[in-house]
Amino acid sequence: MILLGLGSNRAGDWGTPAETLDRVGRELAAAGCPVTHRSPLYVTAALGPEPQDAFVNGVLAISSSLPPEALLRRLKGLERCAGRRSGRRWGPRALDIDILDYRGLVRGWSASSPVRDRMRPPPLVLPHPQLHVRPFVLLPLLDVAPRWRHPVLKQSAQQLWNRVRQQSEGRVLKRLETAR
């Protein structure tokens, strides 16, 4: 199973944040990466040092024969099509798509933390190096893959969610009721 995290907190070329996240599934299917499971969308507190609008987040499970790097390139292309522009880290964005887990592949981790050389562009770290500390990822992940276990930490999604559900940064504010 390939798990993707989606987020948006500003309107872009595909519409509102909720409209944008809904469209991602259609765009992936058209690109040969059909969605097999889709979480509800959640309104969540923004992450980062600067005040900004709340995000809309969700998780998709997809099927794809693309290798991880090719999939990442395709996802970054979708972000640009939706109106994402270069900006500051953790700033407002029309669309952010992260590969959370690629069929349990572990890459770029040493012991219990990801390795990063600050002088080079970030490599694709799998599973996503921050997913286990982000409430806005873990709750929708539970909706899509309730039996999922972190390939490095060996903890279930429920165990990870229980550890972060009360933190303020990235907290889930409400489930977004949309006609999907």
Domains and CATH numbers, the chain: 2-106+125-176 (3.30.70.560)
Instruction: Please report which confidence band the pLDDT of residue 115 belongs to, taking 50, 70 and 90 as the band edges.
Output: low
Instruction: Compute the Cα dihedral for 92, 85, 132, 75 and give only its sign.
Output: positive
CB 169 within 8 A of CB 45: yes
Taking CA 57 as the corner, what is the angle to CA 98 and CA 50, rounded to the nearest 5 degrees? 85
Q: Which two tokens stand for residue 28?
A: 């992936």
CB 124 within 8 A of CB 74: no
Q: Does 12 or 177 have the greater pLDDT score?
A: 12
Condensed to tens digits (0 to 9), the pLDDT of residues 78-103 reads 999 998 776 666 678 899 999 999 99
pLDDT of the residue at 91? 72
Name 145's Cβ contacts closer than 8 Å, sequence gap at least 6.
Answer: 1, 3, 37, 59, 61, 157
Residue of 118, 179, 150, 140 whose CA lies nearest to 55: 140
What is the percent of the chain with per-residue pLDDT over 70, rounded to a whole number?
A: 88
Condensed to tens digits (0 to 9), the pLDDT of residues 32-89 reads 999 999 999 999 999 877 788 999 999 999 999 999 999 999 999 999 999 877 666 6
Q: Which two tokens stand for residue 48?
A: 């980062």
* pTM (2 d.p.): 0.91
What is the percent of the chain with per-residue pLDDT over 90, rounded to a whole number?
A: 78
